Amino acid sequence: MDLLCTCRRCWGRASVNGSPCPTCAGSGKVPDPFLSDFFRYSEVTGTALRSIANDPDDLTLERMRRHLRDLVDPLRVGLGVPLYCTSGYRSPGPRGLDFAVSGPPFDVRPSAHSDGTATDLYPGSPRTILDAVRWILAHESALAWDQVIVEGGCVHVASAAPRTYGEWVQRRHVLVRVRSAEWDAWERTRVGVEPARYGYETYRDDDDRQRSRTV
Ligand SMILES: [Zn+2]
């Protein structure tokens, strides 16, 4: 029997605009199946912003299953440590979660999160974040991956670029969110990525959004 979780459309309020919530039929709960070997629906659709509907449609759910099965599950097995999803699916559009989380200029070009092809993961420590990058690079030819972004407290892994690029592509980008010159140096030496080969670049908080969207 499937477990239940709070409905991602009405967030347990059971109604939407005065009518019973169409996603949970007014119960406030939905099934919480495993989408892959390791990840349940609730783990990759959660958010603290519970005023925003975040229930993926069937097509997006299928993409999420593939993304988890083909990239995140192998990473989980390879690292041998639990991966905590800090942000998975984010609903698209100007009123969606992706915009609320990312802000402008992401409204113009949504992130892969809104296509169900990206997950932010916390593998337990800064060291294991780098282990995750190394593992993906060591197995890159066997994996479907588009981008790996080392964020401050997590690693963003994406299977494919958003459909807004015109077609699904895998750019093989390794990006590092830089907080200081120190961190920059630390990342470059520890990850050991060849810039030319992987399109490795660093970017700073002031301009990261622009640059990360124009690569
Ligand atoms: Zn509902």
Query: Is the bond preceding residue 195 a cis peptide, omega within 30 degrees?
Result: no
Q: Which of 76-90, 91-105, 200-214 comes out lowest in average pLDDT?
A: 200-214
The total of other beta-carbon atoms located within 10 Å of residue 54's CB is: 21
Indicate if the pLDDT at residue 115 is higher than 60.
yes
Side by side, the strands of the sheet bearing 118-122 are 84-87, 118-122, 155-158, 147-150, 173-178, 201-204
Mean residue pLDDT of the chain comes to: 80
Domains and CATH numbers, the chain: 1-32 (no CATH), 34-214 (3.30.1380.10)
Q: From CA 196, how far away is CA 184, in angstroms rounded? A: 17
Q: Tokens at residue 49, please?
A: 């912003």
| 143-151 average pLDDT score | 85
DSSP 40: B
| 158-174 average pLDDT score | 73
What's residue 134's pLDDT? 87
The packing angle between helices 126-138 and 181-191, to 10°, is 40
Higher pLDDT, 186 or 52: 52
Cα 16 to middle of ligand 1, angstroms: 8
What residue type is assigned to position 107 of the chain?
A: D
| 108-128 average pLDDT score | 85
Q: Which of 72-86, 98-112, 186-200 comes out lowest in average pLDDT?
A: 186-200
| 191-210 average pLDDT score | 43
Cα 161 to middle of ligand 1, angstroms: 30
What's residue 166's pLDDT? 59
What's residue 178's pLDDT? 56
Indicate if the pLDDT at residue 59 is higher than 60.
yes
Cα 61 to middle of ligand 1, angstroms: 17
In the structure, ligand 1 is a single-atom ion and the residues with CB under 5 Å from it are 7, 9-10, 21, 23-24
The total of other beta-carbon atoms located within 10 Å of residue 112's CB is: 25
| 97-102 average pLDDT score | 85
What's residue 171's pLDDT? 75
State the pLDDT confidence band at 164, using cuts at 50, 70 and 90.
Answer: low
